[in-house]
Each structure stands twice: as structure tokens, then as C-alpha cells.
């Protein structure tokens, strides 16, 4: 059957998309500046392989100009420009990224700083503008074209005049409404602040004509206004800066600007190592689980730079799988720029860096656990499963690294507890760390087997995740206390008296038990008088190593 294409109300779709990605209007400026920077970068990378093309740094810049009289904001760049086709394809097709295509085509050359990849940033201009006009002349062409649109209703492209290669975007800023102020996007100082906030590390100068006042010559006490061109951005990458100069906000902006995620990082670590290997790194613990995190599609890794130039987008060797959620970058002057991926894997320096980073992540998580418990629990909700898999995988090789980071729901106030907290609260005579596993805490609380343990005043850990019990079996014991399922044969709390009572019941009602067993033939192994029921009439118990829950999971696994 022939497939039909989806139809969509493009205007609504565009609005929904933009509003769901961007919570703040002001970021349209970041998006357009990033595009401009990408456009300049493209000339830069072309010049690396094309001898006819010379890249003089001073010729390349981005210029932002506001004009209150015409209510226009203009962003011009001297970048690679767009042909008529490119205007059509890149600005006329939502979610199409010419920059991503460029990166793919030019993969051979190591190193690119190009930011674009989603093909949606440009449309954020419509959050603040009624009309957007893009005039562009592509590198190597003497024709220019003008693309114009009032939003998702459509666009026009007509020939235009443009003296220099590059792109100029003119936005007709929306009028103020009762609820919304758009005038701010025509104020020089406001614009400068936005650029500083989001685009400070753009590697090319972002220039603005700023108004200033100076004393009037010859006229005492009089001042005159004049315009002066300023470069607004510092261009120095954040990781080269001194930690003391940076605020949490700066790191969060970097995180968003870098597209590490659309969420806010829960925590950042800024490292500057000067030992056996020199490197700088900024690591982030994200707040939310990326949508593809627990799928095969997810690719862990940190950005790897050599002396400020990107070598690899996602260097997986820098992170162990169990810390695969960490985002960020590493810059090392001790790595060579033209090192190949295969060589990188065996690079001694890289291994050292990876080792340092692993222990730094662990100590960061531990301090989060200790000092910012709420944040840690948020983190654990998003990535705790990964830690438990980490314990289980690789034959438990990493359990020592991870066991102190685990949290489980405890019968005590149904709070999340660490193993250490559990053990430190154990009454002296308690022999085991008790747990119950099942579908949900609610159901586990009703489990007959828990009653006798709780009655003793012992805590029970409730395992509701498939992996929990498997991970715990690998850990086996914590601070010399073994783990014990409440549904296992011997709980270690039965008194002699109870044993005797059960035995008497068993032998005294032999026929009844045999009858019950015959009724349940093939469903249970045996029917016995239990020594650990209190208010419940019956419970299921497992014999041997595997608990009932584990058996269920193993049976459900594809063989
Ligand atoms: P992204 O930047 O994620 O690719 P955008 O929606 O921001 O997506 O931009 C779409 C595409 O339009 C870019 O990939 C690029 O090819 C092109 N583009 C946008 N702005 C410019 C510009 N100033 N100069 C040249 N090309 C641009
Ligand atoms: Mg973009």
C-alpha cells in the first residue's frame, strides 16, 4: 500500500515547536549569532583545504544593529552566505540543517566548531519579529537573493543586491502588547547584555554600534552623543577562564549553548589539571534523562579538544558506561590534533584523563548526595538505573565504585536510603539487610512475608526495578552484612519456639497438607506450615538462590 504523507498545520506546528524548545524569547539572538558564527566557520574550514582562499581573521565578524526609528534589528555576517537553493532548502524547510550537512561532508578535516545541527534555531526569530528578511550572497557567487517571510504562512525569494559575500538578517520587531514588551530588543544595552550572556565565547567578534556621550569641545558642561563600534564578546572559551570569574549561570548557559541538553544541569565541575597530563574540563550532571538514554541509539561521550580545537564531538573513551550520562568537554594541549580515532583509544594521556574524570565524577556525586540531597534524588531518578546496571555489568568489576551511590526505597517512611544509612541504623542483633522485590512499593507493603521482619523493627528495602535484585546479588554483602530477601527460606530471625510450633502443625495436619499439595500439583513444589506468617493466611516462598521475582524476570527475557 502506498504510504500517505502526514499533513500538518505548519503555522501551529512551528509555534508549538518553538515554544516547547525555547522558554525565553531572548535566545533568538543566540540562535542567529550562532548561525552567523557557523557561516564564518565554514569559510574558515574551506580555507584550510582551498589554497585559493585566504582567511584573514580581521575580515570576519558579526554585526548587530538596532534601529528604533524603523523598529528593525539587523544581524549581519561576513560568512559563507547562501545561494538561492540554500535559502530555499535551509530556511524553507523546517528542521533541515545545512550546518549538520556541512559537518558530515567535511568530516575528513578534523576539527569543527560548528554549532548548528537541528535546523530549528533560525525560526526562533519569529518569536520577536513579524517579518524576517534574509539577504545573502554566497561565497564564489556574484548574485544575491532576498528571502522574506512573515512566519509559517510561507516565504518569497527574489534577486537582490549585496556588495559583499555574507548574510544580513533584518527583523521587523513586533509592537509591544499589554503583556509583552518587545521594545527591549531594540535597546542597545539590553542587546549587549543578551549577547554577553549567551554568545560570549563565539570565536569571531560580535560588533555593535554603541551610543556614548562625551564632553562637547569648546562648550563647558555640555555633552554630545556619538556612536562607537565595540566588540561585545570576549571570545575566550569558558574553560580557559578562571573559576572565580564564573557564575553558575555562566556554566548553565554554556551547557545550553553547547546543546548538551535542553534542561538545566544539576551540577557542574570545572577541572584544571596540571599534573602528569595537562587538561581543562567542564563536566555536567544533567537534570533529565535524555529521551533516548536507555536505548541503543544513545551515544555517551565528552567533547574532546586539543588546544581549543575540537577533535571529536563525542569521545566515548573518556567516560565509563555507568557514567555515560555525564556531558561536557575536555581540552588538552598534550593531545595531538591529528590523532586518529583508533590511536586515541590507546593513547596513554587519554587513559589518564579518563581515569581522573571517573574519580572526579564519583566524588562530585558523593558530595551531591551528602550536601544537596534533593538534587541527588533528582539525579538518581533520572540515572539511578544506569548506576545499578553498572554494578551488575562487567561481572561486578565496578561495584566498589558504585555501591555507595545507590538509593533504594526503605520501609522506613518510604524514603530513599543509601546502603550505608540502612546499615548504620540496624539494631545490633539484626543479621541481614532485608529486601523485598516486586512491582511497586504499595504491593510490597502488603506482602505477607514483610510482616514478621517489620514487626522486629527491622527496615526493608523495597526493590521495584527489575535490575535491583540482580545488582544486589552482585554486591552480595555491604559492610559485612549480607542481603536477604524476605521471601527466602531462612530469614535468620526465627525463634526455636516458632520452629517447634510450625513442625507440630506440619506433623499434626499431615493429611491436610498432602491434600493441599495434591490440589496444587505442578504449581508448587511443596506446601508447608510457615513459621513467619502473622495476620496473613498464606505466602509463596522460593527455595535456593533465585527469588520468585528473579525467576519471573529471567523467564520474561528473550532466550
Ligand atoms: P541549525 O543552525 O541547527 O542548522 P537553523 O534553523 O538555525 O538550524 O539554520 C538552518 C540552516 O540555515 C543552517 O544549518 C544553515 O545552513 C543556514 N543558515 C542559517 N543562518 C545562516 C547564515 N547567517 N549564513 C549562512 N547560512 C545560514
Ligand atoms: Mg542554528
Confidence of residue 312 (pLDDT cuts 50, 70, 90): confident
**Residue 52 β-bridge partners:** none
Q: Residue 263's closest CA among 289, 238, 283?
A: 289
Ligand 1: atom nearest CA of 99 is 14
Q: What is the pLDDT of residues 57-69, one digit of tens each?
A: 889 999 999 999 9
Q: What is the pLDDT of residue 111?
A: 44
CA distances from 154 to 10, 19, 120, 172, 526 (A): 9, 19, 16, 16, 74
Max intra-chain CA distance, the chain: 120
User: Is the CB of residue 191 less than 8 Å from the CB of residue 66?
Assistant: yes
Q: What is the pLDDT of residue 476?
A: 93
Confidence of residue 110 (pLDDT cuts 50, 70, 90): very low
**Lowest-confidence pick of 334-338, 492-496, 520-524:** 334-338
Q: What is the pLDDT of residues 260-296, one digit of tens each?
A: 888 889 999 999 998 888 999 999 999 999 988 988 8
Cα dihedral 421, 427, 431, 437 in deg (nearest 10)? -50
Q: What is the sign of the dihedral through the CA atoms of 293, 298, 300 and 303?
A: negative
Tell me which of 36, 97, 144, 146 to substitute to probe ligand 1's pocket, judged by most ligand atoms within 8 Å of the beta carbon.
97
Confidence of residue 406 (pLDDT cuts 50, 70, 90): very high
Ligand 1: atom nearest CA of 120 is 6
- Top-confidence residue, 160 or 529: 160
In the structure, how many helices (H) and strands (E) does the chain have?
A: 17, 19
Give the whole-angstrom CA distance, residue 140 versus residue 144.
Answer: 11
Q: What is the pLDDT of residue 102?
A: 82
Confidence of residue 310 (pLDDT cuts 50, 70, 90): low
Non-local (6+) Cβ contacts of 436 within 8 A are 444, 447, 449, 450, 460, 461, 462, 463, 485, 486, 487
Q: What is the pLDDT of residue 346?
A: 67
Tell me which of 46, 61, 90, 262 to substitute to probe ligand 1's pocket, judged by most ligand atoms within 8 Å of the beta carbon.
90
Hey, whose CA ends up nearest to atom 27 of ligand 1? 35
Looking at residues 169-173, what average pLDDT do you find? 98
User: Within 6 Å (CB) of ligand 1, which residues are found?
Assistant: 31, 35-36, 39, 77, 79-82, 90-91, 97-100, 116-122, 167
Looking at residues 374-400, what average pLDDT do you find? 95
Residue 96 has pLDDT above 90, yes or no: no
Give the whole-angstrom CA distance, residue 169 versus residue 35.
Answer: 11
**Lowest-confidence pick of 70-84, 224-238, 411-425:** 224-238
Residue 525 has pLDDT above 90, yes or no: no
Distance 119 CA to ligand 1 centre (A): 7
**Lowest-confidence pick of 41-50, 72-81, 489-498:** 489-498
Q: What is the pLDDT of residue 546?
A: 67
Q: Residue 464's closest CA among 524, 404, 414, 518?
A: 414
In the predicted model, what is the mean pLDDT of the chain? 87
Q: What is the pLDDT of residues 133-163, one digit of tens each?
A: 999 999 999 999 999 998 877 899 999 999 9
Hey, whose CA ends up nearest to atom 15 of ligand 1? 98
User: Is the CB of residue 219 less than 8 Å from the CB of residue 274?
Assistant: no
User: Is the CB of residue 6 less than 8 Å from the CB of residue 171?
Assistant: no
Distance 547 CA to ligand 2 centre (A): 53
Contacts of range 378-382, beta carbons closer than 8 Å, 24 or more positions apart: 378/266, 378/287, 379/266, 379/267, 379/285, 379/287, 380/407, 380/416, 382/286, 382/287, 382/288, 382/289, 382/325
User: Is the CB of residue 186 less than 8 Å from the CB of residue 71?
Assistant: yes
Cα 110 vs. chain centroid, distance in angstroms? 25
Q: What percent of the chain has pLDDT over 70?
A: 90
Confidence of residue 251 (pLDDT cuts 50, 70, 90): very high
HSE-up of 46 (CA within 13 Å, CB side)? 16
**Lowest-confidence pick of 70-84, 143-157, 354-368:** 143-157
CA angle 449, 451, 457 (to 5 degrees): 130
Q: pTM value? A: 0.62
Ligand 1: atom nearest CA of 80 is 25
Could you tell me whether strands 481-485 and 432-437 are parallel, antiparallel, or unpaired per DSSP bridges?
parallel
**Lowest-confidence pick of 41-55, 165-179, 185-199:** 41-55
Set of cell numbers at residue 41? 566557520
Q: What is the pLDDT of residues 460-476, one digit of tens each?
A: 999 999 999 999 999 99
Q: What is the pLDDT of residue 494?
A: 63
CA distances from 477 to 184, 303, 328, 400, 481 (A): 61, 38, 35, 11, 5
Which ligand lies nearest the alpha carbon of 166?
Answer: 1
Q: Which region, left, alpha or beta, applies to residue 251 given φ > 0 means left and ψ of -120 to 50 means alpha?
A: alpha
User: Is the CB of residue 56 less than 8 Å from the CB of residue 63?
Assistant: no
Other CB atoms within 10 A of residue 118 CB: 13
Q: What percent of the chain has pLDDT over 90?
A: 52
Other CB atoms within 10 A of residue 527 CB: 17
**Lowest-confidence pick of 41-50, 328-337, 368-377:** 328-337
Give the whole-angstrom CA distance, residue 168 versus residue 20.
Answer: 27
Q: What is the pLDDT of residue 502?
A: 73
- Top-confidence residue, 375 or 200: 375
Give the whole-angstrom CA distance, residue 463 versus residue 485.
Answer: 10
Distance 31 CA to ligand 2 centre (A): 5
CA distances from 247 to 195, 198, 238, 251 (A): 16, 13, 11, 7
Confidence of residue 520 (pLDDT cuts 50, 70, 90): confident
User: Is the CB of residue 273 less than 8 Å from the CB of residue 279?
Assistant: yes
Set of cell numbers at residue 352? 589518564
Amino acid at each position: 500500500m502506498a504510504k500517505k504523507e502526514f499533513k500538518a498545520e505548519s503555522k501551529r506546528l512551528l509555534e508549538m515547536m518553538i515554544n516547547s524548545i525555547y522558554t525565553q524569547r531572548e535566545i533568538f539572538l543566540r540562535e542567529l549569532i550562532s548561525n552567523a558564527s557557523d557561516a564564518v566557520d565554514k569559510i574558515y574550514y574551506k580555507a584550510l583545504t582551498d589554497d585559493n582562499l585566504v582567511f584573514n581573521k580581521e575580515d570576519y565578524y558579526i554585526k548587530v544593529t538596532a534601529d528604533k526609528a524603523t523598529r528593525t534589528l539587523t544581524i549581519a555576517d561576513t560568512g559563507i552566505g547562501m545561494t538561492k537553493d540554500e535559502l530555499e532548502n535551509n530556511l524553507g524547510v523546517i528542521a533541515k540543517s545545512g550546518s549538520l550537512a556541512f559537518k558530515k561532508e567535511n568530516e575528513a578535516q578534523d576539527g569543527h566548531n560548528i554549532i548548528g545541527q537541528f535546523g530549528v534555531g533560525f525560526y526562533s526569530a519569529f518569536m520577536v519579529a513579524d517579518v524576517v528578511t534574509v539577504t545573502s550572497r554566497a561565497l564564489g557567487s556574484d548574485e544575491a537573493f532576498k528571502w522574506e517571510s512573515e512566519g509559517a504562512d510561507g516565504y518569497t525569494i527574489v534577486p537582490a543586491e549585496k556588495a559583499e559575500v555574507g548574510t544580513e538578517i533584518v527583523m521587523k520587531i513586533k509592537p509591544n502588547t499589554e503583556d509583552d514588551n518587545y521594545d527591549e530588543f531594540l535597546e542597545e544595552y539590553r542587546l549587549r547584555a543578551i549577547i554577553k550572556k549567551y554568545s560570549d565565547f563565539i570565536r569571531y567578534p560580535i560588533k555593535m554600534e554603541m551610543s556614548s556621550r562625551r564632553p562637547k569641545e569648546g562648550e563647558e558642561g555640555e555633552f554630545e552623543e556619538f556612536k562607537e563600534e565595540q566588540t561585545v564578546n570576549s571570545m575566550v572559551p569558558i574553560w580557559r577562564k578562571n573559576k572565580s570569574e564564573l557564575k553558575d549561570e555562566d556554566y548553565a548557559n554554556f551547557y545550553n549553548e553547547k546543546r548538551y541538553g535542553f534542561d538545566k544541569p544539576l551540577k557542574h565541575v570545572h577541572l584544571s589539571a596540571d599534573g602528569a597530563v595537562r587538561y581543562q574540563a567542564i563536566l555536567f550532571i544533567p537534570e533529565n534523562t535524555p529521551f533516548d538514554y536507555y536505548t541503543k541509539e544513545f551515544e555517551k561521550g565528552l567533547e574532546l579538544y586539543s588546544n581549543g580545537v575540537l577533535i571529536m564531538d563525542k569521545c566515548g573513551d573518556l567516560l565509563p558506561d555507568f557514567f555515560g550520562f555525564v556531558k561536557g568537554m575536555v581540552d588538552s594541549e598534550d593531545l595531538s590534533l591529528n590523532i586518529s580515532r583508533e590511536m586515541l583509544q590507546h593513547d596513554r594521556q587519554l587513559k589518564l584523563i579518563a581515569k581522573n574524570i571517573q574519580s572526579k565524577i564519583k566524588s562530585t556525586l558523593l558530595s551531591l548526595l551528602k550536601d544537596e540531597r534533593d538534587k541527588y534524588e533528582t539525579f538518581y531518578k533520572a540515572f539511578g538505573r544506569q548506576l545499578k546496571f553498572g554494578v551488575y555489568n562487567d561481572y561486578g568489576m565496578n561495584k566498589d565504585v558504585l555501591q555507595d551511590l545507590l538509593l533504594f526505597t526503605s520501609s522506613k517512611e518510604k524514603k530513599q536510603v543509601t546502603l550505608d544509612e540502612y546499615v548504620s541504623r540496624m539494631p545490633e542483633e539484626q543479621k541481614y539487610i532485608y529486601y523485598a522485590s516486586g512491582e511497586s512499593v504499595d504491593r510490597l507493603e502488603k506482602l505477607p512475608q514483610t510482616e514478621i521482619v517489620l514487626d522486629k523493627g527491622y527496615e526493608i528495602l523495597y526493590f521495584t526495578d527489575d535490575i535491583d535484585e540482580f545488582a544486589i546479588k552482585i554486591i552480595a554483602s555491604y559492610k559485612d552484612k549480607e542481603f536477604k530477601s524476605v521471601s527466602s527460606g531462612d530469614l535468620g530471625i526465627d525463634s526455636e519456639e516458632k520452629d517447634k510450633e510450625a513442625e507440630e502443625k506440619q506433623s499434626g495436619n499431615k493429611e491436610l497438607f498432602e491434600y493441599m499439595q495434591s490440589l496444587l500439583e505442578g504449581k508448587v513444589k511443596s506446601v508447608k506450615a510457615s513459621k513467619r506468617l502473622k495476620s496473613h493466611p498464606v505466602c509463596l516462598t522460593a527455595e535456593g538462590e533465585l527469588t520468585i521475582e528473579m525467576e519471573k524476570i529471567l523467564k520474561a527475557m528473550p532466550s
